[in-house]
Structure 1
Amino acid sequence: MSSKSVAEQQVTALKKKLEAAIQSRSTLEEDFSVQSSLLIQFIGKLSLVSKGIDLELDNRLAQLRTLFTKSAPIAEIESKIAVITKLLQQHSITNEQNLTRMHEQFNMAGESLQKINGLPDNVRRTLRALLKETKTSKDALVQYIPLLSQLLELYDAALKAKDAPPKGGLLQANNVALAKADSKTATVDESLIERISASLSALNLSKEHTNELLAIKKKLLNDTSNEEVLQHFLEIFDVIVADFKDEQNSAKNFLTNLSDTLTTVQNAVKETLTSQKSSQQANDKINQKLQSQIIEMTGTVKKALSLDQVKSDINEKLQLIAGTLEQKSKFEQQSQQQLANQLKEMAEKVDFLEQQSKIFEEKLAAQQQKSMQDALTKLANRAAFDDYFAKAMVRFHHQAYELALVVIDIDDFKLINDTYGHTAGDKTLQVIANTIQKHVSKNVFVGRYGGEEFVLIYSATSKAELVKELNKINSYVARLPFKFKSNKVSITLSMGATHIQQDDNIHIAFERADKAMYQAKSQGKNQVVYLT
């Protein structure tokens, strides 16, 4: 084989290694591009999570996202990350200071209350337990909310005790004893019980605490003495506070996981940027060495006096170049593997963060949906009606269409509660709600407005069709087989309906439908009245 042929083969091998190096470099750049895209997505999510906490932090994160999008220099990105890190540290310090201040002020207020003369024993015991509970500082400001509420209740009790007439004298002692006896036997106004019951139905708690609340509500409806009702009030507050604490703990756990994940990803980003910068510098050195060796080989060929000398020099230079290329290839493989590992770790952290965020978002969505639902009938509640009707009115005034509002009231509902009890009343509301929802047309909004009133919103329905369907619903309800304490009871509805006019607003339209409903009652009940 000639010297020329050997040289050509070596040059060909050298070209292949160069092409492999170029391909490896291209793969590295693609990986870096994927990593940059992932970082941009992560920073976007971080911006959403931290939005509203600090305006400057929001702006800095937006700037960082822009830098990654434009593939800005590493030094500029590192500078921006350093500023954001400093802002987060300042926010953490401020939060710690606020916690310390809140802890000190809370305990000072509690200790001042303890010094008041004539403080009732039960208040003093509760206050002592409360201060014992807050001996150590809490982890977050929101944890002080229920404690502050409890402290305010104790202050209120202390003020009432201070304003109470002083003890002394046989007659006064007898009056106090009589008052205590009366408090045990006197009954609470039923209208107050009804209002409390309605308020409890509107509360949106977790399933576990909702069941506890329903059990207390049943006892509240059966036990009506002052002392019993007061005890049930305390039980209700305990359940609400317990649910509030559960929500706090859930949010705290999520935020803790979020903070840990963000810290890990932030460190990974720093390490990746540092590693990338170091890899770039090392790769540049190898490229310079390779270029120098190629230039040196070219010079050797030009200076050579014979073919043998060329062959000897080229072989030596090619071996050096091959060694450098092998070093370059090994280095790039190591860099790619390191980058891949970091990218994988970061992706796993981001995936975990996304899962946590998704769970929290689903929980918030469920809570929001629950807040728009009536707890007793499972229909849309007053808030949902206000929102739906307001949007329907906006569409109507933008482009008029047949939009109708119906107000429904159960006839003589108070008589059912007074005669058969509130449990029977609740059951009646549930059955009627289910019947209405079952027999209305498709896409009709059905909601419980409050008490024994329901509301319907129809779209694209004429007056004749509307009145016909409402009369059918009335007939279905009137035929329902209600039975309380072995007594068959016929329950009917009074309905007021109207179509929205061009000069109507929400209040005018509702007042007209409400007026039609009261007109139906005054005309004998169990009927539909339509007003224009």
Structure 2
Amino acid sequence: MTDVNAVVSEVSKLKQRLDQAQLSFRDASLKSRREIVILKRLITRLSVACRGIDQELDAKLVELRNDLEQPKDISKLIPRLALIERLVTRQAALTEQASQNLEQHIHLSGETLNRVRGLPAQLKRDLRNILSANPDSLGDNHNRLIRLLELYESAVKLLSTSTNQQQNNSIDQDVLVHLSSELQHLITELDFTDDNSTVLLETRNKLLAGVTAESLTEQALIVLRLVINGHHQDRRSTQKFVDGVHSDLAAIKKTAHQNLGQSNALLEQRATVISEFSALSHQMQQGLKEQENLETWRPQLETISTELHTLIERTHALEKRERELLDQLAYNENKVISLYEKTAEHHQSLNQQERKMFLDQLTKVYNRAAFNDRLEHEYRRWLRYQHPLCVALLDLDNFKETNVNFGYVAGDKALKIIARTIHQCLDDTDFIARFDGDKFMVIMPDTTEEERTKRINTIRETVSQLPFHFRDQQVSITLSIGATMFDANDTPPNIIERTQKALNTAKSTGANRLSWIA
């Protein structure tokens, strides 16, 4: 009697454990369905980030999302996949920003060509169509660049074959100087290395020395080709990264599908074992109630015991398969970690490119594009808080003579030193950018009248005292400053125009002067 009670007690404990296991598997099934929803969201975000890079890739990602309609158990992947989701979303924003910068370069080059006189009306119309087009993807921008390059080549051929010398030189000197200055500004915002860097330096030196209309078009074509080549390199790099992410996700999807099938099979077998255990338990309980002589019931008990032993062995086999499934999930987790590290490295590379994109390559201070972004940001803060916001335009006095007398290498060296000196005179919350050639823009938010006046005069005096030595000659370089404050209904373009007026006033009174315009 005691042995039977012990058996009943053990069977009851086994039943409780099996009930708990059944609940655990039910929870795992619910988690699996929830995790598949998260994976689908990641794939959707990845599709948005990669949209327009490659049509075939877009189609494959759509197919992948359709294949994930059924729940899949990938609970171990959720934390890593969430990180990948954020990184890929950020990749989309960076790609959009790169596309916007490319759009600006297209318009700059297009407007430059549009100012050339004597070109056929059809070429002008084609150019206007290019500039007025609204690109939907990077591929559209690529086609616009190719078409713009074709128009530049047509313009060069027309100008070179024309017999009318007056037509060839129809661009007046003021416009030519302005276009040359704009092209120099574009060069300062490009970040190339190796041979491309040398080509840009040579182009810049030619522009500084002065060019004709034909030569300006030739230099613009060189810069445009470099921009196109850089664009192709960026696309190839992005394509390689996205292909790697897609390959890893495809592998994860495949193993997740396999794991789901194994999990469902285990769940069904576990349910069968539990059902058989329950039937045996019920049979034993009925026998205990109905049988008065346990000796006569012994053969049935032995049969039940044999079946229980068999079920226990099946349970051990299921546990072994569960451990194998856990090992497979751990392997998948390592693959996701590897994918995360890969995207983190790509993210770091993009951040470095972004920093370079907003730095002037010569002076290592911010460039004009960065200034426009920062001025817009400070303008919005000023609208909200109405704090004092000062903007100053700094221009080196007669700096062209330094380039002419001592060479452009000496001029570049002076620009680097002066930019560093101005930066050292500013506060941590101030901002400096190379605006154009030998001009710098300074933004000083949240400063009192005394502080900003003292800071600007410190810059002016410190620069004038810098000891430059070129070709055994001591040279003094000064700068003039035009400054103003945001007020009333001002906007960033109004402020830039007013600083230029203030600078003209300062220069009209002599060198090394400061002029304020309210």
TM-score by length of 2: 0.71
Q: Check conservation: 1:520, 1:529, Cα contact below 8 A.
A: yes
Q: Which residue of 2 aligns with 1:261?
A: 248
1:153–1:63 CA distance, 2 compared to 1 (3 A): closer
Equivalent position to 1:383, from 369, 376, 382? 369
C-alpha separation in 2, matches of 1:386 and 1:229: 26
Letter aligned with residue 358 of structure 1? A
Give the C-alpha shift of residue 436 in structure 1. Answer: 0.3
Aligned match of 1:6: 3
Q: How many angstroms apart in 2 are the aligned matches of 1:29 and 1:469?
A: 70
Alpha-carbon distance between aligned partners in 1 of 2:356 and 2:156, rounded to the nearest angstrom = 38
CA distance in 2, matches of 1:460, 1:450: 26
Deviations 1:265-294 (A, max 9, x none): 222232222222222222222222222222
Aligned partner (choices 271, 277, 280) of residue 264 of structure 2: 277
What residue in structure 2 maps to residue 94 of structure 1?
Answer: none
What's the Cα RMSD here? 4.2
Describe the shift of the 1:440–1:63 C-alpha distance in structure 2 as closer, same or farther (beyond 3 A).
farther
Describe the SS at the equivalent of 2:248: helix
C-alpha separation between the residues in 2 aligned to 1:285 and 1:16? 18
What is residue 397 of structure 1 aligned with on the other side? 383
Taking the TM superposition and a 5 Å limit, the aligned residue runs for 1:123-202 are 196-202=183-189
2:423 pairs with 1:437: yes
One-letter amino acid of the counterpart of residue 348, structure 1: N
- How far does residue 202 in structure 1 lie from its aligned partner after superposition? 1.7
Which of 516, 523, 531 is residue 502 of structure 2 equivalent to? Answer: 516
Aligned to 2:107: none
Identity, % of aligned pairs?
A: 22
Look up the match of 1:368. 354
Aligned to 1:44: 41
C-alpha offsets along residues 176-212 of structure 1, whole Å, 9 cap, x if unaligned? xxxxxxxxxxxxx88876654443222123x445644
2:461 is paired with a residue whose SS is helix
Structure ID, larger Rg: 1
State the number of aligned residues.
437
**Counterpart code for 1:10:** V
Name the counterpart of 1:180.
none
2: CA distance between counterparts of 1:402 and 1:383? 23
Tell me how far 1:444 sits from its aligned partner.
Answer: 0.6
Which one is further off, 28-37 or 292-301? 28-37
Cα 1:385–1:154 change in 2 (3 A) is closer
Q: Using CA pairs under 8 Å that are at least 6 residues apart, name the structure with larger relative contact order, 1 or 2.
A: 2
Relative distance call for 1:160 and 1:479 in structure 2 (3 A) is closer
Which deviates the most, 439-448 or 235-244? 235-244
> Counterpart of 1:330?
317
Q: Deviations over 1:371-408 (max 9, x none)?
A: 22222111111121111111212121212112111111
**Residue 132 of structure 1 aligns with which residue?**
none
- SS of the aligned residue for 1:497 comes to strand
Does the CA contact (< 8 Å) of 1:516 and 1:531 recur in 2? yes
Q: 1:500 aligns with which of 457, 482, 486?
A: 486
| 1:282-297 matches, cutoff 5 A | 282-297=269-284
Question: What is the CA deviation profile of residues 428-480 of structure 1, one whole-angstrom value per residue up to 9, with x for unaligned ones?
Answer: 22111100001112211111111211111112211122111211111110011
Aligned residue among 319, 330, 344 for 1:358: 344
Distance change >3 Å, CA 390–CA 55, structure 1 → 2: farther
Runs of 5+ consecutive residues of structure 1 not aligned to the other structure: 72-140, 167-171, 176-188
The amino acid across from 2:470 in the alignment is: F
Measure how far apart 1:482 and its partner are: 1.4
Q: Does 1:319 align with 2:306?
A: yes
The answer as to whether partners of 2:12 and 2:281 remain within 8 angstroms in 1 is no
Q: Which residue of 1 aligns with 2:464?
A: 478
In structure 1, C-alpha distance between the alignment counterparts of 2:254 and 2:190, rounded to whole Å: 43
Q: Report the Cα offset of residue 26 of structure 1.
A: 5.7
What is the alpha-carbon distance in structure 2 between the residues aligned to residue 473 and residue 433 of structure 1?
Answer: 10
Deviates most, 315-324 or 18-27: 18-27
Deviations for 1:17-68, whole angstroms, at most 9, x for unmatched residues? 3344445556656666776665455433322211163799889969979988
Secondary structure of the residue that 2:393 maps to in structure 1?
strand
